[in-house]
Structure 1
């Protein structure tokens, strides 16, 4: 279940007599799984002309009642304003959203889902969450809790985990 690049790194670690090969293997398993999930996600969204970034914008707008400012979208998606601008341009070209002047302050923009955008966001969100949940169907409740706890422990040793107040 390792990607070729991870297998090659693991082989080299073994060749060099690294003492922590088992831990490297765990990390590479996790990275390979993450890559496989990303690829599956991309292939599920591609027929709809969406990347993961575009999908996230749609579902954030849908969850906010269909309207948000570009700044709020960038913040919630965890991307720069330049990145959100590119995502919005593509979604607008596809007819999934519109840019409108804010009613209270005409200098500000609001991003609004079109009817087509709302329908796609709703359909894909339901399909996507069912697919994600299905990835863990082979785990019983206790295993799901254990996996979550184990991943949280590993997370604490990452840059993001050291910053996370939880």
Structure 2
């Protein structure tokens, strides 16, 4: 089976908790899942549209401050061009809209945001971000299990 899921963890790994998205993407890459491609990037850039166009599902992972109640949030995304795609402040919805505009298709998408409190220069994440990372990995694993089960049912 071809890779069906693209995971993009983004953020600045030299700004403490801001790097949690990259850490999550790297950990998922280490799982060695045959249907998942996982990228750790500093920021969302327009060139990612070409990659996204070849996947059925995209999961974007980023740090947030402050998050609602310091909970890991998982929400579905739709493409929208109302947001800009400029540097790290780029919004995944804009990247999806760009993918749709160029390739006539964009994958179903989820946005996982992990709470952080320390965005100062550094390479260590706070306990809050580390706890959020563990929760996010479980939530992403559940999404991947659902995709796997759906693909298995389609093959039957």
Give TM-score scaled by structure 2 length.
0.30
TM-score (norm 1): 0.29
> Which one has a larger percent helix, Structure 1 or Structure 2?
1
Higher strand share: 2
- Of the two, which has the highest radius of gyration? 1
Bigger RCO (CA 8 Å, 6+ sep): 2
